[in-house]
């Protein structure tokens, strides 16, 4: 079977899917049992025709595919994939390069250097910072915090890479009460248990309070790491990083910024004020697969001083060939050893959109989030709970006849998901149930927002009236 047959089959199937994606029922339509029936079966014992395999696979998976690439998916913070990034991803798969070592793919190594430079300029971060291309913000948090752990302990006379953590000086780790679960997870892998973290109070939008941080920082001493956040997953609010960094640095602490999506505010002049001073932090973790709209998986671990990042990550063995110093060794910057070349779609995206196109994507989706908030809040019984400063909208729906807002909101979310016009999830925000709407897809239009708002409001009317419960996906 030739490459041409299978690749043209995949091309046709992918194209069909992408052509229809905007019109699809947005959520999954099949139950797990349905999918087990279509996708499952006994272990295949012999060969099959690969074209038939691809056709069957596409048909069997289809009802379980969620149209996250479409314009009306507002769950989590997901983002789609700009067309050229999908194509570049395919090309990268055909090349099947390993980005772990320069000799394994000089092209990938140089592309990583080039894209790192472009990204640092676009984000307004120091041009000498180290950049690692990770699976996502989660592993970026891990990478950055490993560098932080290395450096604060090095300053205390301890080499954590060789001496380990068990007898090391105690490191204080301070996080906001609204810290993302990913930062806590990354800290856990690094030996900092979640009960050991010192939690700093936040305001009503979830922003860390600098006065509370000060009280906690001055009440102890020794090596310290402060984890700040730009872009709260519910409200979109950013910690006051300028004050946090000045304070933490005056006490010798490392400041890490989790900016999975919020860091991209840096690309838009009128949004940059929300994260003013962020460039003075010591490390930054962000995602490309969310707001930058490249395919999964793609994150960025950025560390101001490359030395601790390399000290924490690099692996050396005689057979892992290194060349000239300037030849990038991919495995020096991230937890992985062998690794796919996820820089390729990023390269294509930046070449295609340019700095202005990226800024426009971020700016436009923020505008669409405000449009959604405005459409919803004018309806009776709908409350927008957050200040819509970025791309996140948090909504609560009032009930009727003694039905609580919490129950009604949970019901509205279930109905919206079953309806399929758009998809939004929920969260528990400061004691109440809320619908979370994240606008982060390059292809969303004003019309998509209006159509989605209408569908959400209809679900609210049905839920408030106590109409028949939402049908479950079948
Ligand atoms: C999404 C997110 C993460 C985790 O990123 P992944 O892309 O899932 O690896 C971490 N922090 C914040 C604030 C996020 O929004």
pTM: 0.97
Measured in angstroms, how far is the CA atom of residue 43 from the centroid of ligand 1?
36
Measured in angstroms, how far is the CA atom of residue 156 from the centroid of ligand 1?
31
Give percent of the chain with pLDDT exceeding 70: 98
Q: What is residue 464's predicted lDDT score, i.e. its pLDDT?
A: 87
Sign, CA dihedral 19-417-453-272, equals: negative
**What are 129's two structure tokens?**
């910072």
Dump pLDDT digits (tens) for 108-151: 999 999 999 999 999 999 999 999 999 999 999 999 999 999 99
What average pLDDT score do residues 372-390 get? 98
Dump pLDDT digits (tens) for 251-273: 999 999 999 999 999 999 999 99
What average pLDDT score do residues 48-61 get? 98
Confidence of residue 186 (pLDDT cuts 50, 70, 90): very high
Buried b / exposed e along 142-178 (16+ C-beta atoms within 10 A): bbbbbbbbbbbbbeeebebeeeeeeebeebbbbbbeb
In the structure, which protein residues have their CB atom closer than 6 angstroms to any atom of ligand 1? 77, 136-138, 180, 182, 229, 231, 233, 258, 260-261, 287, 299
Dump pLDDT digits (tens) for 292-309: 999 999 999 999 999 999
Q: Which helix (H) or strand (E) holds 6?
A: helix 3-20
Measured in angstroms, how far is the CA atom of residue 258 from the centroid of ligand 1?
8
- Ligand 1 atom 14, closest CA: 260
Mean pLDDT of the chain: 96
**Choice among 51-55, 188-192, 281-285, 323-327 with the minimum mean pLDDT:** 323-327
Residue 318 or 283, more confident: 283
Mutational pocket test of ligand 1: of 136, 298, 342, the residue with most ligand atoms within 8 Å of the beta carbon: 136
Measured in angstroms, how far is the CA atom of residue 289 from the centroid of ligand 1?
10
Measured in angstroms, how far is the CA atom of residue 201 from the centroid of ligand 1?
21
Mutational pocket test of ligand 1: of 68, 75, 180, the residue with most ligand atoms within 8 Å of the beta carbon: 180
Match 């908030």 to its residue by tokens. 373
Give percent of the chain with pLDDT exceeding 90: 95
Dump pLDDT digits (tens) for 419-472: 999 999 999 999 999 999 999 999 999 999 999 999 999 999 999 887 666 555
Closest CA to 296 of 116, 89, 19: 89
Ligand 1 atom index nearest CA of 232: 13
* For residue 473, pLDDT beyond 50: no
Measured in angstroms, how far is the CA atom of residue 299 from the centroid of ligand 1?
9
Confidence of residue 474 (pLDDT cuts 50, 70, 90): very low
Dump pLDDT digits (tens) for 96-107: 999 999 999 999
Dump pLDDT digits (tens) for 211-258: 999 999 999 999 999 999 999 999 999 999 999 999 999 999 999 999
β-bridge partners, 230: 238
Q: How many CB atoms are located within 10 Å of the residue 107 CB?
A: 14
Mutational pocket test of ligand 1: of 206, 258, 284, 300, the residue with most ligand atoms within 8 Å of the beta carbon: 258
Measured in angstroms, how far is the CA atom of residue 364 from the centroid of ligand 1?
21
**How many Å apart are CA 343 and CA 118, to the nearest integer?**
12
Q: What is residue 466's predicted lDDT score, i.e. its pLDDT?
A: 76
């Amino acid at each position: 079977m030739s490459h041409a047959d299978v690749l043209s089959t995949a091309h046709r199937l992918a194209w069909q899917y992408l052509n229809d994606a905007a019109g699809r029922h947005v959520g999954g339509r099949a139950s797990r049992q349905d999918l087990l029936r279509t996708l499952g079966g006994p272990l295949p014992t012999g060969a099959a025709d690969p074209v038939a395999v691809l056709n069957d696979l596409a048909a069997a998976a289809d009802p379980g595919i969620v149209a996250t690439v479409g314009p009306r998916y507002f769950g989590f913070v997901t983002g789609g994939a700009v067309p050229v990034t999908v194509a570049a991803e395919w090309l990268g798969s055909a090349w099947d390069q390993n980005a772990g070592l320069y000799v394994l793919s000089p092209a990938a190594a140089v592309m990583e250097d080039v894209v790192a430079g472009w990204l640092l300029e676009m984000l307004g971060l120091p041009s000498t910072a180290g950049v690692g291309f990770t699976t996502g913000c989660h592993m970026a948090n891990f990478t950055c915090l490993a560098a932080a752990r290395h450096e604060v302990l090095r300053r205390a006379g301890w080499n954590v890479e060789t001496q380990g953590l068990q007898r090391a000086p105690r490191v204080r780790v301070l996080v906001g009460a609204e810290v993302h679960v990913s930062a806590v997870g990354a800290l856990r892998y690094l030996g900092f248990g979640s009960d050991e973290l010192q939690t700093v109070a936040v305001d009503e939008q979830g922003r860390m309070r600098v006065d509370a941080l000060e009280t906690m920082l001055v009440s102890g001493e020794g090596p310290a790491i402060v984890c700040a956040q730009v872009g709260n997953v519910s409200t979109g609010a950013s910690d006051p990083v300028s004050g946090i960094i000045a304070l933490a640095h005056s006490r010798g602490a490392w400041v890490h910024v989790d900016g999975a999506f919020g860091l991209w505010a840096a690309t838009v002049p009128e949004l940059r004020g929300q994260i003013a001073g962020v460039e003075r932090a010591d490390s930054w973790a962000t995602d490309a697969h969310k707001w930058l709209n490249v395919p999964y998986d793609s994150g960025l671990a950025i560390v101001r001083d490359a030395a601790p990042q390399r000290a924490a990550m690099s692996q050396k063995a005689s057979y892992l060939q290194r060349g000239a110093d300037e030849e990038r060794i991919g495995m020096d910057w991230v937890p992985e050893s062998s690794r796919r070349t996820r820089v390729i779609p990023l390269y294509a995206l930046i070449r295609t959109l340019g700095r202005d196109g990226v800024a426009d994507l971020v700016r436009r989706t923020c505008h669409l989030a405000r449009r959604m908030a405005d459409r919803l809040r004018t309806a009776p019984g709908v409350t927008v709970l957050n200040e819509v400063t970025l791309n996140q909208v948090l909504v609560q729906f009032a009930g009727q006849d003694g039905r609580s807002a919490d129950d009604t909101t949970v019901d509205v979310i279930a109905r919206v998901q079953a309806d399929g016009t758009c998809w939004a999830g929920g969260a528990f925000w400061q004691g109440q149930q809320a619908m979370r709407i994240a606008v982060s897809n390059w292809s969303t239009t004003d019309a998509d927002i209006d159509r989605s708002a209408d569908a959400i409001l209809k679900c609210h009317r049905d839920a408030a009236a106590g109409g028949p419960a939402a049908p479950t996906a079948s």
